[in-house]
Structure formats: structure tokens, C-alpha cells
Amino acid sequence: MARLLSFAAFILSIAASPSYAAANEGDLLNGGKLVLTNAVSSIEGASGGGIATWATISGLETDGGIGVTGHVTMIELPDYGWQSQGVAIGIANRVELSYARQNFDTRDVGTTMGVGQGFTLNQDVFAAKLRLAGDLVYGEPLLPQISVGVQHKRNLDGAVTTAVGANSANGTDFILSASKLILSQSLLVSATARYTEANQTGLLGFGSAAGKGYDFQFEGSLAYQLSRRAVIGAEMRTKPDNLGLGEDDWMDLFAAYAVTDNVTVTAAYADLGSIATFENQRGAFLSAQIAF
């Protein structure tokens, strides 16, 4: 009996010791993803390439953990300046919640548009993504990681979106993505269908007063892994032209490098076509991301 009691006390003392508790809470911000498999932050704040959303979940966490990501992005164009920043939380490599703020400087175009030189269009993007099936790297080679997402966008310049003929300053995009790293070819392939009524991703509002609304758009990325830390690729993204301003599809050529396991920098040449009738908006895309 005494032996049994002392054994029980021994078990209790182990259970109450701090080291045992520590072993159970070690997954928070503890990382664990393979380098670059958290992808980078797309312009809408969701994990993806530069302009395309992927099925990846942000943050370095794996099954049991929580990860966080922050990013800043700038795009320098002939007539405009894009700047955005955002944060994202990844939960158990299953759920992603993100927020991004986009600031689009109209520079001299602002004068032409009658809103004033250097007028900046602002937009908030609140997004959620859920991984439904598959794994980017592991599992069946032919089963990609598949995610669904929703991106709620709130344009803060309703007067401008109304003036250019948009139906609304707020809108919601619905997203279905499939992404896979095809290891045998060192290739990452990603395809996304986006159900959206956003004009210039929402910076010029949503739909048109004339009645144009939701339609399916496509985002595709193809990337080649040069090393554990370096990847180069190309992306394209189709866009609607609800406003009749000649809105073009987007494309970019990018290189991303994981400077450390936590920091990724992305540089790209982006062709954003015509924006509000100002054509040939091609320029440099730069983004930095920190993730845990």
C-alpha cells in the first residue's frame, strides 16, 4: 500500500513539474514548415505568389501550431505607386486569417481624374482561407493542396468608386485554389478560380452602375525551385472590365528568396496593363515578408 501511494505521488510530481507542461505548449510560433512552403504574401494579404493567391496557408506552423506573418509590398509603376502591408495568422496549417491595407497613389493621374494630385485610393481586405484537402509537398503526387477562401474588401474612397461608375465601394471575392510542388520537376504549379466583381481588385470599386457584376476570373502561377531558398516563376491573373475602362489582365515574372527561415524577399517585374485608361503600367514589384 505504501509503495502504491509513493508511486502515485511520484506520478503526480511528474505531472505537476514545469518541464512537462512546457513540452505541451511548444507548438505556438514554433515553426516547422519547410522553407518557402508558407509561400509569400499576395497583394490581397493572403498567402500566395505576388499577384496570385495560392492554396498555401501562411505562417510556419504545422499541424498543431499557430503561425504569424507580416509583410510590406510596393509596386513602382509609370503613373502610379502601389504600397500595401498586412498581417496573417495561420492555424494548424489549416486556416488562414489575413488583413491587408492597400494604398494606391494616383500621382499626376489624380489631377486628370479631378480628385487632386497625389490622391491615394485606400482599401482594406479582410480574408479567410481554409485548406480542404491535400498537401503542397507530401501525399499523393497528383493530389494538390486545395483551399477555399473569401476576401471581403472595403474601399475607403466611395466617392471615387461612384464617380468612375462602380456599383459599390465594398465587395467580396470567393476563391478556390489548388497548388502542388511537383518535386520530380522542382516545379510549383498553382491555379485559382476567383468569383469576383472587383474593378482593379477593388481599388475602383465593385461591379458597375450599368449592372455588370460577378464573374469567374483565373489566377495561375508556375515556379521553379532553384534551391531550398530560391525560386523563380511567372504568374498571370485575368480581370474583368466592368467599367469599360480597358482594364487588362495582369502578369509578372518573379524571384523569391528566403534570406533566413523567417524572412522572404520577393522581387518581380509586373505588367498591370491599363489602369484607369493609363496604359502600359509596367514596373518593379518588391515585397518583404517575415513569418514565424
Partner 1 sequence: MFSIMLALVMLQESPAENIDWDKEFDVEETVRDPVTGEFPIEPFSQDNANAGAEPFDNAKIARYFGGQEGIRKIAERTVELSEQDPRISAIFVARDTVRLKRTLFEQFCYLLNAGCDYSGRDMMAAHAGLGVKMADLNALVENLQQAMGEQDVPFAVQNRFLAKLAPMSKDVVTR
Binding site for partner 1 (CB under 8 A): 2-3, 5-6, 9, 13, 16, 27, 30-35, 62-65, 93, 135, 137-141, 182-186, 225-228
Shortest Å, Cβ 8 to partner 1: 8
Q: Please tell me the distance from the alpha carbon of residue 148 to that of residue 177, in angstroms, as a whole number.
A: 6
Shortest Å, Cβ 183 to partner 1: 4
Work out the end-to-end distance of the chain between its first and last CA atoms, rounded to an integer number of angstroms: 50
CB atoms within 10 A of CB 291: 27
**Which residue, 8 or 210, is less far from partner 1 as judged by CB?**
8
**Which residue, 37 or 167, is less far from partner 1 as judged by CB?**
37
**Which residue, 96 or 173, is less far from partner 1 as judged by CB?**
96
**Which residue, 64 or 220, is less far from partner 1 as judged by CB?**
64
Shortest Å, Cβ 137 to partner 1: 6
Shortest Å, Cβ 13 to partner 1: 6
Sign, CA dihedral 86-286-181-178, equals positive
Strand partners of residue 176: 148, 193
**Which residue, 94 or 107, is less far from partner 1 as judged by CB?**
94
Q: Please tell me the distance from the alpha carbon of residue 290 to that of residue 72, in angstroms, as a whole number.
A: 9
Q: Please tell me the distance from the alpha carbon of residue 278 to that of residue 208, in angstroms, as a whole number.
A: 19
CB atoms within 10 A of CB 114: 9
**Which residue, 62 or 287, is less far from partner 1 as judged by CB?**
62
Q: Please tell me the distance from the alpha carbon of residue 79 to that of residue 263, in angstroms, as a whole number.
A: 30
Distant-in-sequence, close-in-space partners of 12: CB < 8 Å, separation ≥ 6: none
Shortest Å, Cβ 196 to partner 1: 33
CB contact at 8 A, 258 and 252: no
**C-alpha dist (Å) from residue 224 to 44, 147, 187, 267:** 23, 22, 5, 15
Shortest Å, Cβ 228 to partner 1: 6
Shortest Å, Cβ 93 to partner 1: 7
**C-alpha dist (Å) from residue 67 to 30, 71, 182:** 8, 14, 25
**Which residue, 117 or 185, is less far from partner 1 as judged by CB?**
185
